[in-house]
A and B are shown apart, each in its own frame.
Chain A
Amino acid sequence: MIRALDATFGAVGRGYLALARTVGGIVVLFGRILRAMVPPRFDRDETWRNLYDVGVKSFPIVVVTALFVGAIMVIQSAFYVKRTGATGLLGYGVGFSVFAEIGPILIGLMFSGRVGANTTAQLGTMVVTEQVDALRTLAIDPIRYLVVPRFVTMLLMMTLLMVLGDAFAVLGAAGTADAMLGVDWRVLVQGLLEAHFLDEFFMGVVKASCFGVSISVISCFYGLNVRGGAVGVGRAVNASVVANAAAIFVLDFVIGTLYTVM
């Protein structure tokens, strides 16, 4: 009995310790990134390469996600709009749900799946093939050279892609509203404008920026802490995707709560 309790509490304790080490490591890495950005000095080639990889290559997946998010929100509202004839509220519904909640979450999850997982795999492979050690022997700080450009580009691109995603979500919603409900796109846009959509829009952009920060720090943390060759890289990518998704939901909750309080 005592042995079973010991094993149970031991397992719980080890789990909490591992979680504390991970969260602590992520916070420390975030601090080191901020420290490495003062004074601001970026490797031009590495930053440019990341801007292309993170931004341009993510554009198609964000467009597709956003178009469908807009369309799905209209489909979900269709039943009530048809029943009540409240077509003027369609824009409000789309604006609130897409701009403030579903849009940032889904685009954040797609972004973390594509860019975050890729970042963890890249850095993890560099660790196991000793490329990170090679940087150190050449007197180059891996945080400054590898992590800071990724942090900056993910923060920038997640924010920018969110703005573009909002535009494409409205496009998807307008097309679907017209095709399924016969609601003119101008009615939908009018509804958006009348519903103070700027609040929701800014809330979504703030969320996206925070997601950009969390995805970059978490992905880099797992990438730089890979142990155990190719198998270790696989494990790190898996852990990074899960942690990024969890962080997105936690941040969404926290920011949403803060907005409500303020």
Chain B
Amino acid sequence: MSAAAAPGAHDGAVLRAEGLGKRFAGGWVLEGVDLALHPGEIVGLVGQGGHGKSVLLKCLAGLLAPDAGRVVAFGEDLATLSSVRLAKVREAYGYVFQNYALFDFMTVADNVAFPLRQRGDADERAVKALVRERLAEVGLAAAVGLYPRELSGGMKKRVGLVRATVTDPDVILYDDPSAGLDPVTSSKIFELIARMQERRAGSAAIVVSHDIDRMRAICARYVMLERGRVVFEGGEEDVAGAPRAVSDFFDLDGAGVLA
């Protein structure tokens, strides 16, 4: 990146949650969450629906302010940053939303070009060429002039993926990128995630998903949330010794073998 890279000491983690807590009217959704993301790694964030995964991702991106603990990105506490500095830090982020969040008044090409154009220093011809190239990579070369309402769910996911990664950010947060997609399209989405992470060596990612089978292909480490607390952190080889709820989630039989 790194417009946001700061000289502060941060033990190599690009993103870190420390004792993170978030509460809404109904009570605490996250409690005491600790998590570190290092350059080049892809962490799978798993757990049942409604247990705080998306809220954690939004806190990590600075979209929600934590009620306890803090989020440190590139050595800087997000809560202490000015709006200008926070915007600079966010330039190093990519975020793929569960419900696409494509700008419905822009074409596919404009959606993808938007983050490049907003940085203000890009040559328009270069922007258009890069947008065409990235959309072609995900099989959407013919969709450049279409609006989001004219796309299928899988196509929207791919556009969201390209928009989040077109600036080659240092940290990418994927919020359930395969939600609501058929198995074939889901596989394609995870292949694309793997390809995008390969393109940018050193780029780190957190992937929220329930699709353990497909996550195995890209994630080396997992964090599992239950009722807003971290109940497991480690590689798949560590699951066997974890509580039953964790091994059940990873679909292991009693002997620690993949079912």
Contacts and interface: CB of A to CB of B under 8 A. Distances in A.
A138 B86 CA distance: 11
B83 A136 contact: no
Nearest to A49: B105
B97 interface: yes
A138 B97 contact: no
Interface in B79-125: 83, 87-88, 90-91, 93-95, 97, 99, 101-105, 114-115, 118
A134 B63 CA distance: 9
B63 A133 contact: yes
B87 A139 contact: yes
B128 interface: no
Interface residues of B, number: 23
Interface in A130-160: 130-131, 133-134, 136-141
Nearest to B116: A138
Interface in A177-197: none
Size range of the chain A interface in the assembly: 10 to 19
A129 B101 contact: yes
B61 interface: yes
Contact of A131 (B94, B104, B164): B104
Nearest to B86: A139
Contacts of B90: 136-139
Nearest to A130: B101
A191 B154 CA distance: 68
Contacts of A49: 105
Interface string A99-139: 00000000000000000000000000000011101101111
A29 to B, nearest CB: 15
Given A49-B105, A129-B101, A137 B118 contact: no
A61 to B, nearest CB: 22
A137 B61 contact: yes
A136 B90 CA distance: 8
Nearest to A135: B103
A131 B97 CA distance: 9
B58 interface: yes
A137 B114 CA distance: 12
A141 B84 CA distance: 9
Given A133-B63, A133-B97, A138 B115 contact: yes
A170 B95 CA distance: 55
A1 B127 CA distance: 71
Contacts of B115: 138-139
Nearest to A132: B101
A137 B95 contact: yes
Given A136-B90, A138-B90, A141-B83, A129 B99 contact: yes
A139 B63 CA distance: 11
Interface in B52-87: 58, 61-63, 83, 87
B101 A139 contact: no
Contact of A137 (B83, B93, B102): B93
Interface centre among A130, A133, A137 (most CB of B within 10 A): A137
Given A134-B103, A139-B87, 11 more contacts: A130-B97, A130-B99, A130-B101, A131-B102, A133-B101, A137-B63, A137-B164, A138-B90, A139-B90, A139-B91, A141-B83
17 contacts: A130-B97, A133-B58, A133-B63, A133-B97, A136-B62, A136-B90, A137-B61, A137-B93, A137-B94, A137-B95, A138-B114, A139-B90, A139-B91, A139-B93, A139-B118, A140-B118, A141-B83
